[in-house]
Structure 1
Amino acid sequence: MSDSRPALTVNDVPVEWHLDEGDLRFAGLSSALFWTNPSLFWMLSPLVEEVGVDLFRLLVARSSSLGTDEDYRSLVARPDGAIEQGFLAWGRAISAAGWGAFELPSFDRAACTATVRIRNPWELRMQADGDLRWGCPFLQGKVIGIFSLAFARLCWADEHIDTGGAAPVVEFHVHPSERTIDDELNQLRVVRFRARQQELKQHMAEAAQQLRRKDEEVEQKERLIRALSAPIIQVWNGVLAVPLAGVLSRERAEPICEELLHRVKSMSATHVLLDMTGLSEVDEAATGQIATIVTSLRLLGAQCAVVGLSPELARTMVEVGISLAGVRTYQTLADALRQAVGLTRRATAGRRT
């Protein structure tokens, strides 16, 4: 034994430190030594929190069971068929690695049942001071794998944990079962997938509802903007005034026309005053929309008067072939209002006589 490679044997297991390589060999295999707590606990607990206890347990149990072929062949299986002694020999070997103290209180080869008790198992020591608990899936996977090989049939190991004594204890009750870790994993994945689907549906429904609310808010704001951009004012009984300002485009003119026709019908208005004094610009498409407004008002039985028509707008309408024949025009809103009110009064007086 060199100073760089000290070695010893514990429970028939050779342990050798390759200090020159920074390696620890346990039973001839490269190993690493970690504190169960905090090192291993801090390493594994974030994974448990991320995937959930159930999925984590099954994943760990499956992984640990994959290495049981070598465990069984090298230590458990014996020429004389004494599986009990072979399992306890395996337990003594891995107890040297700090896995816990293994016992086999019961073993029935004919019934394919067994009870495995492990005092002070490393997984429970690791979790002792933490807030998160997930049991002993690593040891469970080992027990399932070894006894499925020993009994030459599928087995399962039910886990029972007792932390009330001086040291924690886990017992595994082994029995025949068609249940496999892979089947359990697949079933859990299906359940989680369906739950995720339901969660996504719920999120989509909530998102759709929020979108509808946003659309309603946008629509309300657009209605408010339209109302503010071209307020329709009842200036007299049966007389509506629509002051237009700024730039009048087709996109802006269409909702004005729609709202105006609705108001004329709902209020039984007989006169509408389109005040264009404040317009700074009117595109060609909007010019045609003005003619549409005038024609539509006539069909509803309302007279339309145009106020403040600029020379530029008048020229544009002539150039595109739009005529306002039969439509009264006024320079100021006051003039138009006096005329409309006068006509309304005379119409009212005529109905009374």
Structure 2
Amino acid sequence: MPTDGGTVVTGTLSGTLTAAGSPYRVIGNAQGVVTIPKGQVLKVQPGVILDFKGRPEVTEADVAAGAPDSVMNHQKGRVEVRVYGGIQVSGTADKPVLLTSTNPYGWWGMNFYGDNSVGEGHPVFDHMVFEKVRKNEYNGDRDWTRGALWAYYPGPVTIRNSVFRDNVSAAKCGALDLMFTVGSRVESTLFEGNRTSDIDRFAQAGTSSMAGGGAMCVTHGRDSVVRGNTFRNNGLEAFRGSVWSGLTVRPVLAWPNSQNIYDLGGGAALHYFQPNNDLIVDNLFEDNFVTKGPAAAIYVEDVGTRGVTLRHNRFLDNQAGAGGVVVCNRGSGAVELVVESDNVFSGNTVNGNPAPNVTGDCTVAAQ
């Protein structure tokens, strides 16, 4: 992408963005925020590049102001998108929309805010590339620590024919968190090289993390469909320490545990919390990993009757430190997970040994 020219954007994003005005250099306001205001709609046409540049010189000064090796020294100068109005991203196969950042420390991603983001049409993202988010305010608020695209939205979110790559979140859901959504669809999309990378500066030796979802989460949602996607080389890892050169790997907390703690972590690619009638169908899960944690591909937690159905997926060469490829825990006492016989499991490992296909305390039905 070009590194100069284009259209500068400061406080708000709305109206129609065309390739003629691209690239759009999104700086944000004095607080590092750009807003899609209530009552307005942002329409993004094919071929548009949105460079969430922020103020790289401020970011660099923030790094230089302290020890460059510190995990906390790049908070300033990056830009966040807050969605209160509508957004329609409409790329095409030959002219996708690119959301990226030329700031060497990335950008803060895109956040929705529940009922405050409803009213101007449900969000749709089609033929989009979404990359280079760094939500790494460790131990911070959830809108700055989970999901490069944090869709806290009580309605359907539609994502089709897109790419999420090279995004990092600090708590859960490296690339995407569908929180409280109803009827969302994620289809024909590539999730590649995303990470949930939790760092607790204050963690004691032997303590565990509750990080989850290397690529994506469905959190308190229902009736979602995840269909025809590829999840490749996404990862979940947790550390303690305050400098990059001195981090120590720590485990992800498994269930059951002696502390009787809920809201756990796990899931190298997907993490479902309180799912309700969600479908995972025709996806490829390949080379995903969770270090010292459960679920080489999918973690499902706190599940009602038939909360999740897995149909015609392929699970190839995924790795975990505990459990199996799919882990389902804290069921309701009925059939919580349906794993149909047309799913394919091959080459998956737990601690270097062949991985069970499904583990946990849920009741699992095969159809």
- State the TM-score bracket (shorter-chain normalisation): under 0.3
Structure with the higher strand share, 1 or 2: 2
Q: Larger % of helix: which?
A: 1
TM-score (norm 1): 0.23
Structure-2-length-normalised TM-score: 0.23
Question: Highest Rg: 1 or 2?
Answer: 1
